[in-house]
Amino acid sequence: MLKPSPLALRFAGSLRDCRSGVAFLEFAFALPVVLALGLLGLETANYAMSNLRVSNIAMLTADNAARVRESIDEGDIVELMTGAKMSGSNINFAQNGRIILTDLERHSTANLQWVRWQRCDGALNHTATPAALRPMTSGGTVISNGTEIYNSDRFTASSNPSSEAKASLTQVGSGSNVISAAAGTAVMVVEVAYNYQPVIPNSFLTGRRITYVSAFNVRQRTDQTLRNINRITPKSCNTFAA
């Protein structure tokens, strides 16, 4: 029987005691787990930041709309919408979001809430919720082309304006989040919707829609009619563009 040479025995012993590749093997096994956890944390952080951004857009737009004094004009609305889209530029809000600004008032005789006017912007196809939170004609038709105040010439009074008679809301929201206007004033209600854009392709958050509603009481302004001094094109709710 042949015995291994001392050189072969020494080589086998050094090979048995060698640990130089253990770190590489451990790294190879741990890398997928570490990478998955890192990407999960990145996606979760990005989703949280997107929620914060959308929430801020809703709050600031409602607050600024309520601050417009004496009267409010279509030009004010354009500025508000432009500012909202600019503040969401880092999440591509204009291309993937929708902002809906609603003037909510109390019915002059009934204990109901009605929509005097509504303006929208953003490319996302999203309409106000609940469905009753939209201006309607006396015949019950939803006004989405921006003519609830003025005709298509953007100057003469609408021949089919938003009608108090079609008011059906008692309030917007429920529980501790009730929105309703008091007599003689108005509430600026802003609903913002945004289709979340994930960092990672095929993310578990793909397809999520973030929505927030914010409302502020109008300060000082007693005339809630939406004017159009410069006859600009209204931000009507039947158009969807960035």
Predicted pLDDT of residue 3: 67
Helix (H) / strand (E) element for 231: namely none
- For residue 93, being part of any structural domain is answered with yes
Strand partners, 215: 189
Question: Could you read off the pLDDT of 113-124 as tens digits, one per residue?
Answer: 999 999 999 999
Strand partners, 99: 121, 192
Reported as a pLDDT band with limits 50, 70 and 90, residue 33 is: confident
3-state secondary structure of 190: strand
- For residue 10, being part of any structural domain is answered with no
Instruction: Say what the pTM is.
Output: 0.86
- For residue 168, being part of any structural domain is answered with yes
- The domain total for the chain is 1
Give the pairing of strands 226-227 and 72-73: parallel
How many CA atoms, within 13 angstroms, populate the side-chain half-sphere of residue 167?
23
At residue 208, does pLDDT exceed 60?
yes
- For residue 5, being part of any structural domain is answered with no
Q: CB neighbours of 101 closer than 8 A, spacing ≥ 6?
A: 61, 62, 65, 77, 80, 81, 118, 119, 120, 188, 189, 190
Q: What percent of the chain has pLDDT over 90?
A: 74
Range of the domain at 88: 23-227
- For residue 117, being part of any structural domain is answered with yes
